[in-house]
Amino acid sequence: MPDTVVQERSRIEDRIVRYADLEPCYDAFIDTRTPGSDKKENFTIIGPGVSENPNQHVHIAEPHGFNIGGARQPPRCTNSQHSHQTVEVFYVHTGQWRFDLGEHADDAQICLGPGDLISIPTNVFRGFTNTGESDGFLWAVLGGDDPGHVLWAPKVFDMARDYGLLLLEDGMLIDINKGEKVPAGKAVMPVTTEAQVAALDVFSNAQLEACVIRSGASVNFGPFNTIKGVRETELIGPKPIDWSHGFTLNEIEIEASATIPSHRMQVADVYFVQTGKIIVSIDDEKTILTAGDTITFPVGTRRSFTNANDVAARIVAVRGGDKNPEIEWI
């Protein structure tokens, strides 16, 4: 199939964040100088995320009701123990990963690979490590337009201070090694207390496993599943991951040359290419997306998808609301 694309930048390109164009932040969080955590890259793809660096680049600032981000880490690099104020979902794009829960990362553990998904509830310490032999990338969804700030495990503050980083109460990071000072009228975030730690949930391995959907395991079908050559399954929405997220997350497999015809939705919807090559249209514009690319569609616009390859492609769809939206076929 020929690669027919728009040659000059157009409106459709403003809705796309290509994997090759991702702008990483190497000092997004308080643990980014701590040995073992100092090589990680953080990405704010849609929305501000929970970055503690006010200078981090946000690719698309438009509110969606949820945030899209990413984490890329080399082998044996760890994201330190922390908790979130809204739900945090990871879809494994590449690499082998271990997720560790608890203040000391020893309450529960689970290992994930490409195509696996984990939804970690609020009010629990979590961290994650690339356990593979090459760089890995996690595509992430955070609940809400403003996901708030991160609550760090107490030891994270101690290690950060040793390497010149302070966190302020408003979530801003101060780099003492660069000569930065605490601004007048602002206060340093106090170390997480024993009472705060005790108020967090403790998970067992079985409870953590219930937060995971393994690649290809879902049998709950989504709205595109009736289309010839298309298989759509729900990962977030039905059991076991049926608690409110403010969004649904489905996985769509499109066979070679198959098409999802023109349609509209009246909710925010974002798509991520896990594998393959997809021709995407918005109204009268077309472009090609490849693995690692993210696209967001304006609410109510006409769109379609066609597999541009001779093998099946897999994409991930995040849509606003706790139920699959109505689809208007055109």
Q: What is the pLDDT of residues 122-164, one digit of tens each?
A: 999 999 999 999 999 999 999 999 999 999 999 999 999 899 9
Token digits of residue 291? 């693995």
- The pLDDT, as a whole number, for residue 26 is 93
Token digits of residue 29? 């969080």
235-244 pLDDT tens trace: 999 889 999 9
Please tell me if the domain spanning 21-213 has the same topology as the one spanning 223-324.
yes
Asked if the model's pLDDT at residue 66 lies above 60, the reply is yes
| CA separation for the pair 95, 92 (Å, rounded) | 7
Q: What residues contact 141, with CB distance under 8 A and at least 6 apart? A: 66, 67, 68, 69, 87, 88, 89, 91, 245, 247, 249, 318
CATH superfamily for domain 223-324 = Jelly Rolls (2.60.120.10)
Asked if the model's pLDDT at residue 201 lies above 90, the reply is yes
| CA separation for the pair 164, 179 (Å, rounded) | 10
Are residues 232 and 225 in contact, defined by beta-carbon separation less than 8 angstroms? yes
* Banded model confidence at residue 172, pLDDT cuts 50, 70, 90: confident
| CA separation for the pair 319, 51 (Å, rounded) | 23
| Of 135, 176, 140, 180, nearest in space to 50 by CA | 140
Token digits of residue 224? 């595109």
Stretch 16-21: mean pLDDT, rounded?
A: 98
* Banded model confidence at residue 220, pLDDT cuts 50, 70, 90: very high
21-213 topology per CATH: Jelly Rolls (2.60.120)
Domain residue extents for the chain: 21-213, 223-324
| CA separation for the pair 106, 153 (Å, rounded) | 13
| Of 45, 55, 16, 212, nearest in space to 139 by CA | 45
- 221, 97, 150, 292: CA torsion to nearest 10: -60
Please state, in angstroms and as integers, the Cα–Cα distance from residue 247 to each residue in 88, 142, 234, 286, following that order.
Answer: 11, 10, 12, 26
pTM: 0.94
* Banded model confidence at residue 171, pLDDT cuts 50, 70, 90: confident
Are residues 139 and 272 in contact, defined by beta-carbon separation less than 8 angstroms? yes
